[in-house]
Amino acid sequence: MGYVSARGGLDAIQAAERLVRRLRLVSDSTWLEEDQILDKLRMLVDRVMSEAGLWDPRLAAAAIRQSEGDVTEAVHLLRAYRSTLPRFAYSEPSDADDIRVRRRIVPAFQRVPGDQLLGRSVDYTARFLERQSDEDAREEAEKLRAEHATAVGDTAANDGDTATNDGDAARTPRRLIELLREMDLLVDRRSVGDPEPFDITRVPARPPAPRSALLSSMSRADTGALVNQWYRNILGPDGYLHEVTLGEVRHGDLQVVVAHPVSGEAVSVAEVRVTEVEAIEDLDEIGEDRTRFDVGYGLCFGHNERKAIAMANLDIACHRDAGRTQLEQSLLLTTDALDSAGFLEHLKLPHYVTFRSMIERKIAVRKARRKHDA
Amino acid sequence: MTLDGLIDERPRTELLDEYAKREIRRAMLSAVAIPGYQVPFGSREMPVARGWGSGGLQVTLATVHREDVVKVIDQGDDDGVNAVNLRRLVTSSTGARETSVAAEATVVQSRHRVPEDGLDENTVLVLQVPVPEPLRGVERDMRELARMHAEADYSRMWVSLYEDKVRNGVITQSTGYPCLVDGRYVAATTPIPRWDIPRLHDAPFLTLFGAGREKRIYAIPPYTDVEPLTFEDVPFEVEDADGACCALCGSRESFLVSLPGAPTWLCSDTDWCRRRREPSA
Amino acid sequence: MNLRALSSHESTLVFRAMLSALAFPARRFELPPRLVAEMPAAVLPLLALVDIETSFHSQDHGAEIAVITSAPVVALPDARFVLFDRAPSRTDVCGLSRGDAHRPESGCGVFVAVDALPSAEAASRASAGTPVTLSGPGIRGAIALAVPDDFLDFIAARNEVVVAAPAGIDCWFIAGDGGVMGLPRTTRVATSTAAAAESGR
């Protein structure tokens, strides 16, 4: 005798699926295309790719549309998709010095070689909520398009983000920490040799873990979780870190290179966009080199400065903590969007077996107390 | 040739790639060889969320082939929405047949219950694990937890149980009672009721535990000692129903859950209850 | 006999035999007959279990298995899985990776090709070899088997290696006819004749 049961459960799920699908697809408003999401919601696309640990803007846009704008849900769709893909190659290490910057600032110094490049950022734009009508906005867009085409001439030179058209050298400026190194102001913690990086998608990291495990965990952590970890260490009860001075904040393009399977030569298979931060930390504890600085590093997919800054500060804080507290555990294990949200929301699952057992224990405690008092 | 062309564009029914399955299988073999020890594995993201059975699902998907017969339950109920969702994922991606009768199943995936009967040497029981760490209530630091397990230093657990008994008159652990497996590792039995614990001891079937979120797999092999942690003069107690019986089948021999109000008691194992009412079916 | 990659279904069938063999030590389970007809049974576990992310060592077919599975071939002490085409020596066994209390899962998985699996019926016959008694997880009470003479050193060495539980090695014996028998580190193998006579029932 096979499967015999009331079909209430399956019917309920299927009804819910039909409802969600209908309300998602059917509406009177204009159809939302992937291109519109890519074009107009780039920060959301970047954030989803960063937290999914998967670079594919078009897939991220599809996930955002399917999740109806729920970031964590979109991240889940991307990661589950990734689980079905076989890994067919390992990339060569990319040198972060090869990042072609679209934006680059160095708060630690007023002037730096390679210049401060404000680039595409709203940092110094006043936060006024615009109430322009669609018609006026479209008109303005057409006007700006025409003006820009005239100003630049050959539109092939327009890559959108940079406010300047300087040559290649300006796009890969020297790092501040190289200058600090020349001034002998930096502790040298560079790795010797070429250690294999820790792969968090294959081996679950637990403290004590290598720095690469911490960095990759933070690189795909939930943005809000990292910002919160940072802030609670400034103002909250934890207090494990000090505010850094930022050495570099960069947003730019990076090639991903693999060895060609036949010729063995290096071949670029993708160009990704990353945000990179180097944070200068003042060493002021007993046992540290008071005459020098140290550096924290942050890197993530897409344009996500608050995440990369938090990451860099938490990286150096964790190094200085040297296992004294549970900071490393918090960073490695409580910042993943899917682990945290999934476990939180699992509370919605039926728990009546446990609850019945808990009630039984309460009755048992009362019985024991009555017996004791008698 | 493009990268897209390299990836098979047919509709995907497989939820895990072949390498993921191999890794899970290697972890399962280690788990069986080291009863009760939490084996780390590269847990993949599944179509179900973390905390919703992603680990149990990975273990099941690495185990099941098209000739298997699969039963999936949640709280003992085949018809619970989460069980239904997981079961259809398993059968659609593996081609296995489904059943609600435990004795017919070769693989049973369950959240928080051991089926009342029907499990034998040909069954693999896969339990979904929310929290694989039995010592989390007495220690938060993971480095210390690793040391406690490595050195079999469970003293803090014993102290905590003792304090519980002294303070409350009974040990108040409800479900997920900590047990010593094969005399070596203390393991979290997942939130199965105390009712089910004795049936894990010296059982004819293999039990696998999948914790997807925390990325651990562990196992209790067949015919293995499973001792709930307690004291010589404090016998282990299963849930007492104070004489209640199932309103549908009259059973007192199964784990009962209550509906609030009257209260009405019902068997949590819905298929066991159904078969009791329709023995010819 | 030509080796080839196993399909997803075939890998699953082989894995299930390995899992059952480990869960129920000292019992015979069957590898898929169609595969056994196609290639040496002893290579099937490696073909089913290893890949680019795990290492192995094999006395036979090592290069072929490496190409098929992309798994790297390494030296004996570094291997996660090892295939022996005859009874491993004491030196072989003592050199295998055992893991430790913090990482017992890195203990070696050992596959040994044998002519025939020991059987419980043969255990009482002196000609079949030295009687041993096996007990522990997966075994109801105890099982008596006869160990052929060329495996006595192996059993003694294996017993030494698994004494420091939870570290240890896990073994599978694979016969040419496709029978497989498991011996996890948790199984106690006692070679005293008195114990064997006792548990012969």
Do residue B146 and residue A206 have CB atoms under 8 angstroms apart? yes
CA gap C109, C168 in Å, rounded = 9
List the single residue in C16, C19, C105 with the smallest CB-CB distance to B34: C105
CA gap C114, C85 in Å, rounded = 7
Confidence of residue B281 (pLDDT cuts 50, 70, 90): low
- Residues B248-257 have pLDDT tens digits of 999 999 999 9
∠ CA A345-A351-A352 to the nearest 5 degrees? 155
Q: What is the pLDDT at residue A158?
A: 46
Which tokens is B143 given? 């480095």
- Residues A16-63 have pLDDT tens digits of 999 999 999 999 999 999 999 999 999 999 999 999 999 999 999 999
Q: Which amino acid is at A214?
A: L
Q: What is the pLDDT at residue A156?
A: 45
The whole-number average pLDDT for the span A324-351 is: 95
B62 touches chain C (CB under 8 A): yes
List the single residue in B65, B221, B224 with the smallest CB-CB distance to C9: B65
- Residues A91-112 have pLDDT tens digits of 999 999 999 999 999 999 888 8
| Domain ranges, residue B257 | 240-281
List the single residue in A1, A2, A342 with the smallest CB-CB distance to B52: A342
Q: Which of B36, B53, B56, B212 is catalytic?
A: B36
Mean residue pLDDT of chain A comes to 90
Do residue B257 and residue A356 have CB atoms under 8 angstroms apart? yes
- Residues C18-54 have pLDDT tens digits of 999 999 999 999 999 999 999 999 999 999 999 998 9
CA gap A204, B24 in Å, rounded = 13
Residue with more model confidence, C95 or C194: C95
The whole-number average pLDDT for the span B154-166 is: 96
- Characterize the bridge pairing of strands B216-220 and B206-211: antiparallel
Confidence of residue A1 (pLDDT cuts 50, 70, 90): very low
Domain assignment of residue B1, yes or no: no
Judge whether B273 counts as a catalytic residue.
yes
Judge if B42 and B85 occupy the same domain.
yes
Q: What is the pLDDT at residue B3?
A: 53
Give me the total of CB pairs closer than 8 Å, taking one residue from chain A and one from chain B.
Answer: 185
Does the pLDDT at position C199 exceed 80?
A: no
- Residues B220-269 have pLDDT tens digits of 999 999 999 999 999 999 999 989 999 999 999 999 999 887 779 999 99
Question: What is the per-residue DSSP string for chain C?
Answer: ----PPPHHHHHHHHHHHHHHHHSTT--EE--HHHHHHS-GGGHHHHHH--TTS-EEESSSHHHHHHHH-PPB--GGG-SEEEESSPPPHHHHHHS----SS-GGGSPEEEEEESS---TGGGG-GGG-EEEEEESTT-SS-EEEEE-GGGHHHHHHHHHHTSSTTS--EEEEEETTSEEEEE-TT-EEE--HHHHHHTT-
Do residue A269 and residue B74 have CB atoms under 8 angstroms apart? no
Mean residue pLDDT of chain B comes to 93
Does the pLDDT at position B71 exceed 80?
A: yes
Q: Which of B53, B55, B246, B273 is catalytic?
A: B273
pTM: 0.93
Note the ipTM here: 0.94
Residues of B in contact with A356 (CB under 8 A): 193, 239, 256-258
| Backbone phi, psi, residue A67, to 5° | -85, 0
- Whose CA is closest to A354, among A366, A342, A362? A362
Range of weakest confidence among A145-159, A171-185, B13-27, C176-190: A145-159
Range of weakest confidence among A76-90, B33-47, B58-72, B111-125: A76-90
List the single residue in B19, B44, B52 with the smallest CB-CB distance to A346: B52
CA gap C106, C167 in Å, rounded = 8
- The helix/strand/coil state of B227 is strand
- Residues A279-305 have pLDDT tens digits of 999 998 888 999 999 999 999 999 999
- DSSP 8-state class, residue A347: G
Do residue A13 and residue B84 have CB atoms under 8 angstroms apart? yes
Give me the total of CB pairs closer than 8 Å, taking one residue from chain B and one from chain C.
Answer: 101
Do residue B175 and residue A86 have CB atoms under 8 angstroms apart? no
Q: What is the pLDDT at residue B7?
A: 55
Interface test with C, best of B30, B32, B64 (most C CBs within 10 A): B32
Residue B47 to chain C, least CA–CA distance (Å): 20
Question: What is the per-residue DSSP string for A233-279?
Answer: HHTSS-------EEEEEEEEEEEEEEE-TTT--EEEEEEEEEEEEEE
Confidence of residue A4 (pLDDT cuts 50, 70, 90): very low
Judge if B61 and B168 occupy the same domain.
yes
Q: What is the pLDDT at residue C201?
A: 40
Percent of chain A clearing pLDDT 90 (strictly above):
73
> Distance from first CA to last CA of chain C, Å, rounded?
41
The whole-number average pLDDT for the span B129-137 is: 96
Do residue B223 and residue C139 have CB atoms under 8 angstroms apart? yes
Judge whether B36 counts as a catalytic residue.
yes
- Residues B46-58 have pLDDT tens digits of 999 999 999 999 9
* Other Cβ atoms within 10 Å of C119 Cβ, number: 15
Do residue B84 and residue A86 have CB atoms under 8 angstroms apart? no
Sign of CA dihedral C110, C111, C114, C117: positive
CATH of C8-117+150-186, one of 3.90.800.10, 1.20.1730.10, 3.30.2010.10, 3.40.50.11310: 3.40.50.11310
C184 touches chain B (CB under 8 A): yes
Does the pLDDT at position B212 exceed 50?
A: yes
- Residues C54-99 have pLDDT tens digits of 999 998 899 999 999 999 999 999 999 999 999 999 999 999 999 9
Does the pLDDT at position A188 exceed 70?
A: yes
Judge whether B245 counts as a catalytic residue.
yes
Q: Which amino acid is at B156?
A: R
Judge if B52 and B158 occupy the same domain.
yes
Interface test with B, best of C8, C19, C161 (most B CBs within 10 A): C19
Q: What is the pLDDT at residue C123?
A: 61
Q: What is the pLDDT at residue A114?
A: 82
C70 touches chain B (CB under 8 A): no
Interface test with B, best of C12, C65, C98 (most B CBs within 10 A): C12
* Residue B43 region by backbone torsions, left for phi larger than 0, else alpha for psi between -120 and 50, else beta: beta
Judge if B115 and B177 occupy the same domain.
yes
Residues 6 or more apart whose Cβ sits within 8 Å of residue A356? B193, B239, B256, B257, B258
- Residue in chain B closest to C10 (alpha carbons) equals B65
Q: Which amino acid is at B206?
A: L
- Residues A241-291 have pLDDT tens digits of 888 899 999 999 999 999 988 899 999 999 999 999 999 999 988 889 999
> Distance from first CA to last CA of chain A, Å, rounded?
54
B65 touches chain C (CB under 8 A): yes
The total number of structural domains in chain B stands at 2
In angstroms, how far is CA B91 from the centroid of its own chain?
Answer: 19
Contact A214, A313 (CB under 8 A): no
| CA-based radius of gyration for chain B | 20
Residue B181 to chain A, least CA–CA distance (Å): 22
In angstroms, how far is CA B152 from the centroid of its own chain?
Answer: 23
Q: What is the pLDDT at residue A9?
A: 84
Judge if B173 and B51 occupy the same domain.
yes
Confidence of residue A167 (pLDDT cuts 50, 70, 90): low
Residues of C in contact with B119 (CB under 8 A): none
Interface test with B, best of C10, C16, C110 (most B CBs within 10 A): C16
Judge if B73 and B24 occupy the same domain.
yes
Q: Quick one: angle between helices A305-321 and A211-219, nearest 10?
A: 160
- The helix/strand/coil state of B111 is strand
Does the pLDDT at position A5 exceed 50?
A: no
Do residue B184 and residue C166 have CB atoms under 8 angstroms apart? yes
Does the pLDDT at position B5 exceed 80?
A: no
Residues of B in contact with C166 (CB under 8 A): 34, 37, 184-185
B25 touches chain C (CB under 8 A): yes
Judge if B190 and B250 occupy the same domain.
no
- Whose CA is closest to A51, among A209, A211, A225? A225
- Give all chains having 3 or more CB-to-CB distances under 8 Å with chain C: B
For chain C, positions 10-29, list CB contacts with chain B under 8 A: 11-13, 15-16, 18-19, 22-24
Do residue A76 and residue B45 have CB atoms under 8 angstroms apart? yes
